[in-house]
């Protein structure tokens, strides 16, 4: 078995056997590579049934939150490459258009599938084609507003579209919000279920005319018309997502349904299904490092220093202990951002809003208008999803919302979709914003304290994934002077390196070799203009380093140099992430490729860089 065509003639029993084999193979491989496990284990039967019933890739199968697609990859010609998952040159951890024709849409951020699938369905109709379009949304993705925007549009357009909700009652963490409670209530509606079972027991095809009448009768008798039906969908469910016989029968009915309208199939699955350690774990083994299959024990390296995430959590707890107005907000990532620790100390001052970054930002803005001190702890890559709210609801109104931006810079195995490459550029371009970057874990504590004390404007501080550099931590963070950097090393070679963020350690290594002056900018906005003037006046070469895309810190420094007519006096070398999306690799290799390790910094200073900007010899 390598492709969907190989399983078209399988019996239900053979499909069950295949599902068990897929589940075991996935556990075995991921135990050696690490990766996302729980969500994929939960959709094995659904994935097998989908590829058995539908004619993929002619029929478009659009997945949401792509970390649930490992079984899909194994069924679509990539089984033998699964051991390369999330490694350099290997398979992506998410769906990726350039990887396979069976991936019609890339999915690494959530809640995009219904919108994309609706676009494909309308395109099909305009071309006069007859393929099916199926969106599989789940793992918490229904908590994001974009899913409902798409459903509202789909219900109005009336094109045939099949949406499958993989309801595993989980996200990355236990679910939150009214929608989760609504789905649970729908699942337990005994009166509605009894009417549905009555119809199922006596009718062979769930979408036959008689079955439709029975469905409508059940809805009228119980008053169980769902939100999804209000949006224009024909709702079916909830059904057992591990019952292969029922899955195949319903999917065949949906495939053969001739009415041009959107259909909504509500499937209940168990995250971590079939692997006892995952089933017993609170996060259902959402993401794992390498592990022992027999015991489920993960093989985590002993950290030499605390993680930046934990340092931020402890620092925020310390600030909140002294200031009852501090509120912590996260968007479905309490453990990823460290706010699970904060919640244990301050449960009534912690808000997990679900996968709803837009709401998180404006919710924080509302709190700020009433004198509270909200901290929005969101990954850099996910804060992108709320940019209009950052601009319109926070920056324009100059509200003191604090943004703690985790996973800034490159993130290794998650690749381009999760890289924190753009936040410097998209935040520092906004009036009123203060933008900081921590060079080590002690600086992160200071920036947390500085943000807590900043009541005049929105303020953001960014920090990388993983463990710190091992510096001694203070008992409590100190408040930094806004817009002031620091000299870390005095040199006499004529080379000055101005670092913004966590590349400072690499800059220090390069500085030792070069005899360079090293400075930690701390702030991109406002710039420490006095520090920059000093570096220019006493050196012939100025190098800026940042873990961000073009248009960020270097652009602000260069603009200042141009405004002050200082570019003619200095050779300027901006080092930043390349203007491309970098595929997954180890962080060290990714930074080497970006030219941001000590070795590449030295080469750039010695004239081996292609991005040297020099106006010293130009005519005035």
For position 413, what pLDDT does the model report? Answer: 87
Q: What would the DSSP string read from start to end of 31-76?
A: HHH-EE-HHHHHTHHHHHHHHHHS-TTTSEEEESSGGG-HHHHIII
Phi, psi (deg, nearest 5) at residue 307? -75, 155
Name the average pLDDT for the chain.
Answer: 89
DSSP 492: S
Task: List, for residues 175-207, the tens digit of each pLDDT value.
Answer: 556 666 666 565 555 444 444 454 444 334 445
Which helix H or strand E contains 317, and what residues bound it?
helix 308-322
Confidence of residue 299 (pLDDT cuts 50, 70, 90): confident
Catalytic residue, from 60, 86, 271, 402: name it. 271
Phi, psi (deg, nearest 5) at residue 503? -85, 5
Count Cα neighbours of 247 within 13 Å in the Cβ-side half-sphere.
29
Average pLDDT over residues 276-298: 82
Catalytic residue, from 23, 196, 341, 385: name it. 385
Beta bridge partners of 489: 518
User: Which of the following CATH numbers is that of domain 486-614: 3.30.70.100, 3.40.50.920, 3.55.30.10, 3.40.50.720?
Assistant: 3.40.50.920
Q: How far is CA 31 from CA 41, 286, 291, 295, in A?
A: 13, 13, 5, 11
Task: List, for residues 40-61, the tens digit of each pLDDT value.
Answer: 999 999 999 999 999 999 999 9
Confidence of residue 221 (pLDDT cuts 50, 70, 90): very low
Catalytic residue, from 357, 441, 506, 546: name it. 357
Q: Does pLDDT of 256 surpass 90?
A: yes
| 261 catalytic residue (yes or no) | no
- Give the whole-angstrom CA distance, residue 274 versus residue 405: 36
| 271 catalytic residue (yes or no) | yes
Closest CA to 535 of 550, 521, 551, 554: 521
Q: What would the DSSP string read from start to end of 126-194?
A: HHT----EEEEEETTGGGSHHHHHHHHHHHHH---EEEEEEE-S-SSSS--SHHHHHHHHHHT-HHHHH
Q: Where in the chain is the domain with CATH 3.40.50.920?
A: 486-614
Q: How far is CA 46 from CA 102, 104, 309, 449, 579, in A?
A: 16, 18, 35, 48, 39
- Give the whole-angstrom CA distance, residue 302 versus residue 288: 15
Q: Where in the chain is the domain with CATH 3.40.50.970?
A: 4-189+229-288, 308-462
- Who wins on pLDDT, 598 or 300? 598
Task: List, for residues 449-486, the tens digit of each pLDDT value.
Answer: 999 999 999 999 999 999 999 999 999 999 999 999 99
| 357 catalytic residue (yes or no) | yes
Residues in the chain: 620
Q: Which pTM value belongs to this model?
A: 0.86
Is beta strand 287-288 parallel, antiparallel or unpaired with respect to 35-36?
Answer: antiparallel
For position 249, what pLDDT does the model report? Answer: 93
Task: List, for residues 302-331, the tens digit of each pLDDT value.
Answer: 777 999 999 999 999 999 999 999 999 999
State the chain's maximal CA–CA distance in angstroms.
90
Confidence of residue 296 (pLDDT cuts 50, 70, 90): confident
Task: List, for residues 366-406, the tens digit of each pLDDT value.
Answer: 999 999 999 999 999 999 999 999 999 999 999 999 999 99
- The superfamily CATH assigns to domain 4-189+229-288 is Thiamin diphosphate (ThDP)-binding fold, Pyr/PP domains (3.40.50.970)
Angle between the N-to-C axes of helices 44-53 and 12-33, in degrees from 0 to 180, rounded to the nearest 10: 130
User: Which of the following CATH numbers is that of domain 308-462: 1.10.3720.10, 3.40.1390.10, 3.40.50.970, 3.40.190.80?
Assistant: 3.40.50.970
Task: List, for residues 517-538, the tens digit of each pLDDT value.
Answer: 999 999 999 999 999 999 999 9
Q: Cα 177 from chain centroid?
A: 19
């Amino acid at each position: 078995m390598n492709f969907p065509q190989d399983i078209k003639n399988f019996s239900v029993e053979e499909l069950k056997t295949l599902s068990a084999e897929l589940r075991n193979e996935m556990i075995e491989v991921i135990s050696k590579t690490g990766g996302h496990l729980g969500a994929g284990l939960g959709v094995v039967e659904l994935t097998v049934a989908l590829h058995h019933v539908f004619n993929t890739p002619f029929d478009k199968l659009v997945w949401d939150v792509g970390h649930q697609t490992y079984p899909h990859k194994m069924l679509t010609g990539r089984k033998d490459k699964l051991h390369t998952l999330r490694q350099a040159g290997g398979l992506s951890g998410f769906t990726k258009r350039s990887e396979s024709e069976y991936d019609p849409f890339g999915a690494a951020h959530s809640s995009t599938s219904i919108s994309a699938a609706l676009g494909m369905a309308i395109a099909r109709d305009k071309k006069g084609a007859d393929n099916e379009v199926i969106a599989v949304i789940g793992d918490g993705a229904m908590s994001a507003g974009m899913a409902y925007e798409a459903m509202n549009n789909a219900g109005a357009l009336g094109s045939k579209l099949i949406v499958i909700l993989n309801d595993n009652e989980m996200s990355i963490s236990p679910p939150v919000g009214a929608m989760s409670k609504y789905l649970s209530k729908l699942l337990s509606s005994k009166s509605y279920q009894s009417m549905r079972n009555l119809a199922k027991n006596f009718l062979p095809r769930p979408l036959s005319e008689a079955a439709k009448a029975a469905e409508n009768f059940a809805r009228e008798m119980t008053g169980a018309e769902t939100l999804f039906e209000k949006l224009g969908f024909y709702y079916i469910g909830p059904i057992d997502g591990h019952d292969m016989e029922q899955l195949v029968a319903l999917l065949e009915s949906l495939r053969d349904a001739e009415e041009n309208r959107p259909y909504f199939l509500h499937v209940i699955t168990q995250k971590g299904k079939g692997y006892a350690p995952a089933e017993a774990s609170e996060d259902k083994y959402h993401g794992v490092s390498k592990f022992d299959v027999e015991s489920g024990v993960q093989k985590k390296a002993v950290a030499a220093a605390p993680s930046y995430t934990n340092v931020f959590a402890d620092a925020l707890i310390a600030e909140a202990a002294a200031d009852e107005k501090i509120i912590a907000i996260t968007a479905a990532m309490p453990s990823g951002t460290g706010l699970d620790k904060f919640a244990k100390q301050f449960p009534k001052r912690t808000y997990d809003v679900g996968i709803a970054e837009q709401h998180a930002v404006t919710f924080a803005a509302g709190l700020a208008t009433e004198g509270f001190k909200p901290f929005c702890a969101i990954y850099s890559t996910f804060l992108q999803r709320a940019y209009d709210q950052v601009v319109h609801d926070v920056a324009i109104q100059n509200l003191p919302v604090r943004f703690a931006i985790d996973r800034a810079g490159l993130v290794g195995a998650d690749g381009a979709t999760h890289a924190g490459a753009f936040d410097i550029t998209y935040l520092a371009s906004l009036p009123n914003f203060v933008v900081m970057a921590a060079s080590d874990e002690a600086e992160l504590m200071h920036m947390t304290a500085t943000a807590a004390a900043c009541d005049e404007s929105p303020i953001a501080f960014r920090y990388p994934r993983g463990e710190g550099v091992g510096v001694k931590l203070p008992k409590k963070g100190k408040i930094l002077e806004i817009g002031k950097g620091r000299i870390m090393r005095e040199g006499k070679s004529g080379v000055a390196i101005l670092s913004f963020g966590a590349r400072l350690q690499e800059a220090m290594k390069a500085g030792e070799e070069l005899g360079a002056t090293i400075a930690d900018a701390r702030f991109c906005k406002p710039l420490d203009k006095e520090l920059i003037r000093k570096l220019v006046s006493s050196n012939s070469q100025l190098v800026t380093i940042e873990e961000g895309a073009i248009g960020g810190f270097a652009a602000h420094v260069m603009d200042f140099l141009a405004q002050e007519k200082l570019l003619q006096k200095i050779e300027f070398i901006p080092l930043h992430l390349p203007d491309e999306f970098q595929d997954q690799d180890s962080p060290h290799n990714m930074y080497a490729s970006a030219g941001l390790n000590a070795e590449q910094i030295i080469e750039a200073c010695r004239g081996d860089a292609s991005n040297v900007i020099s106006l010293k010899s130009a005519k005035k």
